[in-house]
Structure 1
Amino acid sequence: MPDVPTVTAPGAVGTPVRIDLDPPAVAMVWLGADRPHEVVAVPRVALAPGEALVAIELATICGSDVHTTAGRRRAPVPLVLGHEYVGRIVATGGDVRAIDGSLLFHGDRVVWSIMAGCGTCDRCRRGIPQKCRALVKYGHERLEPRWELTGGFASHVHLRRGTAMLRVSESVPAEVLAPASCGTATAWAAVERADDTTDIDDAVVLVLGAGLIGLTAAAIAADRGARVIVADPDARRRDLALRFGAAAAVDPLDPSAREAALADLGRAEIDVVIEASGSAAAVASAIDAVGVGGIVVLVGSVFPGGSLTVDPERLVRNLVTISGVHNYTPHDLHAAVRFLHARHTRYPFDELVGARMPLADVDAALELARSGDSVRVGLVP
C-alpha cells in the first residue's frame, strides 16, 4: 500500500484539497524526438471536487507512445506520455465514483479511461464521449503548472473529474490490467462495432495485425463464437495468435494462405475484417477481403499512413460497411475489464508484457518497445 499523503488544507466544500507528497511524486517528461526524458518532482497536488490522485502500480508502453517519440505523431511538449495503467487511489477531492456509480475510496485498485469528458456537450450526449468538445486525454496533454501528473510515465496520475474509473480485482495481474485503458478497451469497441452490423457468432473474422489490439480482438471475437483468422508477417505473432483463439494465423504476404484458411473453415468469404495495424496497404487489403454484406472496422490508423484508392461501386454492390473506431466509451472499458476478469486465465494476456523496467529507464524501455520483441513493455515506478 502506498504511503498515505498529507492533506494540508481540506478547505470548504467545493474547494480544492491540497495534498503534500513526501517523497514527491515523479513524472518523466518528454521534450521532443531524439531528446532524453527529464525527471520532474511534484511535491504538491491540488484536487478539485471529483478528482483523484492514483499511485501507479504498472504502466505499459502503447504503440502510439512509440510513434509519438519517433516523431510520427504530433504531440505538445513538454509532455508526460503513457495512457495504459493500473494503480491505487491515494487521495480524492470529495466523492469520486466508478463507472457503475459506486463510491471509490483510498486504497482501491483501479484502472481508468484514457480520457476525461464533460458529459454534457452534444457529442457526449450522442454517446461518443471520446470526442467530447472539452476532451482531456492522459498521456497526450501538455504539462501545465498545477497539473503536472498528466500521464502514465510517472509515479502518480492526477485524474480529472469526468474520468471513467473502475475498481479491479486484487487477483488479476497488473500485466493483464494495465493495457485495458487503451488496447483492450479499443479492441472491445472494435468487436462491438462489428457485432452491431454482423452477428459475430459463427462469423468468419479476419484480424489484420497481431499487436495487442489485434490479439485481444481475436480473443474477444473467438469468445463470442467467431471463426478467427489472424494475419501478421511475424511468425512469432502468428503463433501467439493461435493461443488467443485464432482458428488460423497466416502470413499476409502469402496470397494463397488466407484462401487456404477459409477453405479449411469450410467458408467461402469473410464476414468481418478488423484492421489493427494502421498500414495503408493493410487497409486496402481489408476492403478487398471483406465479403458481401460484411463490415470492415478500421482501428489501427491512428497516425499518418498515406491515402488509398477505393472502388465505391464495389462497396455499393457488395453492401459493404466501413467503420472507424477511435478509443472507446466508458461502457466499452467496463465490459473489457469484465472480460479480462473472466478470461485472463484462458488467454495468455499476462505474457503480452514481455519486459518490466524501472520508470527511470523510460528511454531504454521505449527503445525496447520499438524493437517489437515484446507486444508491450512495462514501466514500474
Structure 2
Amino acid sequence: MVWSGIGLPLECVAVPGVLLRPGDVLVEVEFATVCGSDVHTALGHRASAKPLVLGHEQVGRVVAVGEQSYAVNGMPLRVGQRVVWSVAVSCGTCPRCRRGLPQKCLELAKYGHERMQRGWELSGGFATHVQVRAGTAVVVVDEQVPATVLAPASCATATVVAAFGAASALVPLAGATVLVTGAGMLGVTACAMATDAGAVVVVSDPDAARRQLALAFGAVAVVDPSAPCESSTDVVSVLAGLAQAGVAEPTIALELSGDRSAVQTAVDLIGIGGVVVLVGSVSPGAPVKLDPESIVRRLVTVRGVHNYTPGDLEQAVAYLSGAWHRHPFSALVGAIFPLEKADAALATAASARHPRVGITPQPPATLG
C-alpha cells in the first residue's frame, strides 16, 4: 500500500517480480504494527520522500533467499524461518559503520522511509512482502512468541535496548532509580526492561490511561506532569516521597516523548552523576534551557539515541522471548486491520488508546 502525499489515500500497487541480489531475502509479512513515525509521515509532520511504502515494525517468514544471506548470528538464512529485521540498511564499510554506528551509515536506507523505486518496490512493512536487502540485520525469532509482541521489536523494543545501553555504560541499571518521561510503546517497554533488570522506575505522562499501563509494566510510581506544582502527583513531590521511603534519587532518565517540558524535567531532576538519554526528540522543537554550572556540579551526562545497532535488535528479540510471559506485551496492540484498510489503521493509530495498531497483510480483493 503506497503513500503518495498528505491527505491522499494509500494506493494498492502490484509488484510483478523481485530480483534478489546477493545477501537479499524475500519475506512474506505475517503482521505489522503502525509506529508513531508512520503517522507523522502520513500527516506531513516530517519531511518524507514520496511515493513510499510505510511500515518498519513487522514480523514475517522467509520465502526466498539470495546467495550469501545470513542472520545476525552468522547462520545462513533459510526458507521458512520466521524473522524480524532492522529498520536500517547499512553498507558495513564506511567510517560510521566501522565506528559501530551502522544506523548512521553514510549510505543509509531505511524501511518505510525511502521513495519507492524500481528494483526496491517492496521497501516497507505495509505490504504482503518485503525485500530485505543485504546490509540489514535479520534475527530469527521463536515460533511461539505472538506476532503482536514481536513486530515492534524492530523499532520500539530495540530502541529502548539502545537507550539503556547508552545509560548503563555510565550508570549500572541494577539498583538504579529510573525516571521515564513518556508512557507510550517505548515507555512501557522501558518500564518492563528496567524493572526486570532490578531498577526502580518512575514514569511521567499526562495521560491517565498510559500511567495505569506503566504500572502494569512494573513502574513503582507514576506522575502527571500537568499537575500543579507541590500537588501530591507532581513529579518533584513524588520523587521526594520516594526518597523519604529510602528510594535513591534518579540517576538514569529516559526521555521518550519529545516534549520540551519533559526534556527540561529530565535534565533538571537527574541526580548526581546521572545520565539523561534523549530519545523522543526526533522532530524540530523549541530549545531547552541548559544551565552549564548545574550540569558541571551535578556531573550530569546528556546522551542522544536514535535507532539502534544489530546487536540491540538481537537483544530486543531475546528479551521479548522471555518477557512476554511476565508482562502484558500482547495487550499493547489494539485494533487490527487488513492491509487493504491501512488508511483506517493510520487514522486509528493517530488517536488510539493502545500504543500500537496492527495490520495483517491480507491480499486486497483487487489482486485476487
In the alignment, the residues of structure 1 paired with residue 285 and residue 329 of structure 2 have an alpha-carbon distance, to the nearest angstrom, of 28
Runs of 4+ in 1 over 4 A off after TM superposition: none
Q: 1:272 aligns with which of 234, 244, 252?
A: 252
How many residues get paired? 354
* SS at 2:61 equivalent: strand
Q: Determine if the alignment matches structure 1 residue 108 to structure 2 residue 81.
A: yes
Q: 1:353 aligns with which of 328, 333, 336?
A: 333
* SS at 1:44 equivalent: coil
* SS at 2:52 equivalent: coil
* SS at 2:275 equivalent: strand
Deviations 1:303-334 (A, max 9, x none): 22222221111111111100000000000000
Q: 2:264 aligns with which of 259, 284, 292?
A: 284
In the alignment, the residues of structure 2 paired with residue 305 and residue 39 of structure 1 have an alpha-carbon distance, to the nearest angstrom, of 35
Deviations 1:148-182 (A, max 9, x none): 00101111001110100011011000000000000
User: Are the equivalent residues in 1 in contact too, given 2:28–2:60 (CA < 8 A)?
Assistant: yes
In the alignment, the residues of structure 1 paired with residue 286 and residue 85 of structure 2 have an alpha-carbon distance, to the nearest angstrom, of 32
Shift of 1:58: 0.5
In the alignment, the residues of structure 2 paired with residue 312 and residue 76 of structure 1 have an alpha-carbon distance, to the nearest angstrom, of 39
Q: Determine if the alignment matches structure 1 residue 33 to structure 2 residue 6.
A: yes
Q: Determine if the alignment matches structure 1 residue 330 to structure 2 residue 307.
A: no
In the alignment, the residues of structure 1 paired with residue 340 and residue 9 of structure 2 have an alpha-carbon distance, to the nearest angstrom, of 11
Write out aligned runs for 1:138-157 (5 A).
Answer: 138-157=111-130
* SS at 1:266 equivalent: coil
Shift of 1:260: 4.0
Write out aligned runs for 1:78-157 (5 A).
Answer: 78-157=51-130
Shift of 1:268: 5.2
* C-alpha RMSD over aligned residues: 1.1
Shift of 1:267: 3.0
Deviations 1:277-306 (A, max 9, x none): 011121111111111111100001112222
In the alignment, the residues of structure 2 paired with residue 72 and residue 272 of structure 1 have an alpha-carbon distance, to the nearest angstrom, of 30
In the alignment, the residues of structure 1 paired with residue 237 and residue 144 of structure 2 have an alpha-carbon distance, to the nearest angstrom, of 41
* SS at 2:56 equivalent: coil
* Greater relative CO, 1 or 2 (CA 8 Å, sep 6+): 2
Q: Which residue of 2 aligns with 1:261?
A: 238
Q: Which residue of 2 aligns with 1:173?
A: 146
User: Are the equivalent residues in 2 in contact too, given 1:72–1:304 (CA < 8 A)?
Assistant: no
In the alignment, the residues of structure 2 paired with residue 342 and residue 128 of structure 1 have an alpha-carbon distance, to the nearest angstrom, of 28
In the alignment, the residues of structure 2 paired with residue 152 and residue 261 of structure 1 have an alpha-carbon distance, to the nearest angstrom, of 41
Q: 1:311 aligns with which of 288, 291, 294?
A: 291
In the alignment, the residues of structure 1 paired with residue 267 and residue 5 of structure 2 have an alpha-carbon distance, to the nearest angstrom, of 36
- What amino acid is aligned across from residue 355 of structure 2 in structure 1? V
In the alignment, the residues of structure 1 paired with residue 67 and residue 165 of structure 2 have an alpha-carbon distance, to the nearest angstrom, of 34
In the alignment, the residues of structure 1 paired with residue 352 and residue 181 of structure 2 have an alpha-carbon distance, to the nearest angstrom, of 16
Write out aligned runs for 1:354-369 (5 A).
Answer: 354-369=334-349
User: Are the equivalent residues in 2 in contact too, given 1:73–1:304 (CA < 8 A)?
Assistant: no
Q: Which residue of 1 aligns with 2:365?
A: none
Q: Determine if the alignment matches structure 1 residue 233 to structure 2 residue 213.
A: no
In the alignment, the residues of structure 2 paired with residue 304 and residue 353 of structure 1 have an alpha-carbon distance, to the nearest angstrom, of 28
Q: What TM-score does the superposition give when structure 1 sets the normalisation length?
A: 0.91
In the alignment, the residues of structure 2 paired with residue 204 and residue 271 of structure 1 have an alpha-carbon distance, to the nearest angstrom, of 6
Q: Which residue of 2 aligns with 1:377?
A: 357
In the alignment, the residues of structure 2 paired with residue 340 and residue 276 of structure 1 have an alpha-carbon distance, to the nearest angstrom, of 20
Q: Determine if the alignment matches structure 1 residue 53 to structure 2 residue 30.
A: no
User: Are the equivalent residues in 2 in contact too, given 1:118–1:132 (CA < 8 A)?
Assistant: yes
Shift of 1:218: 1.3
In the alignment, the residues of structure 1 paired with residue 120 and residue 289 of structure 2 have an alpha-carbon distance, to the nearest angstrom, of 44
Q: Which residue of 1 aligns with 2:364?
A: none
Q: Which residue of 2 aligns with 1:202?
A: 175
Instruction: Give the gaps of 5 or more residues in structure 1.
Output: 1-27
In the alignment, the residues of structure 2 paired with residue 76 and residue 88 of structure 1 have an alpha-carbon distance, to the nearest angstrom, of 28
In the alignment, the residues of structure 2 paired with residue 372 and residue 130 of structure 1 have an alpha-carbon distance, to the nearest angstrom, of 29
In the alignment, the residues of structure 1 paired with residue 147 and residue 15 of structure 2 have an alpha-carbon distance, to the nearest angstrom, of 25
Worse overlay, 309-318 or 319-328: 309-318
Q: 2:134 aligns with which of 157, 161, 165?
A: 161
Q: What TM-score does the superposition give when structure 2 sets the normalisation length?
A: 0.94
Q: Which residue of 2 aligns with 1:320?
A: 300
User: Are the equivalent residues in 1 in contact too, given 2:176–2:248 (CA < 8 A)?
Assistant: no
* SS at 2:53 equivalent: coil
In the alignment, the residues of structure 1 paired with residue 115 and residue 223 of structure 2 have an alpha-carbon distance, to the nearest angstrom, of 41
* SS at 2:17 equivalent: strand
The change in CA–CA distance for 1:95 and 1:268 in structure 2 (over 3 A counts) is closer
* SS at 1:86 equivalent: strand
User: Are the equivalent residues in 1 in contact too, given 2:177–2:248 (CA < 8 A)?
Assistant: no
Residue identity over aligned pairs, in percent, reads 55
In the alignment, the residues of structure 1 paired with residue 88 and residue 325 of structure 2 have an alpha-carbon distance, to the nearest angstrom, of 28
In the alignment, the residues of structure 1 paired with residue 89 and residue 139 of structure 2 have an alpha-carbon distance, to the nearest angstrom, of 14
